[in-house]
Amino acid sequence: MDIDDAFALLAQLELHEVEELDGEYFEAELRDLLELA
């Protein structure tokens, strides 16, 4: 996943009501992305 994918995920989350589980999943993905950057 690159930064564009991360922003796409964020935009998708903003477009929909997100359950806490989905939010936690996104945060984990974002943490992984930042560690790789």
Give tens-digit pLDDT for 7-33.
888 787 776 655 656 778 878 888 888
The larger pLDDT score, comparing residue 28 to residue 37, is at 28
DSSP 7: H
**pLDDT for residue 6:** 84
Amino acid occupying residue 21:
L
pLDDT at 1: 64
pLDDT for res 22: 72
Q: 1-33 b/e with 16+ CB inside 10 Å = b?
A: eeeeebeebeeeeeeeeeeeeeeeebeeeeeee
pLDDT over 80 at 4, yes or no: yes
Residue located via tokens 């922003």? 7
Q: 0.75 cut: is pTM over it?
A: no
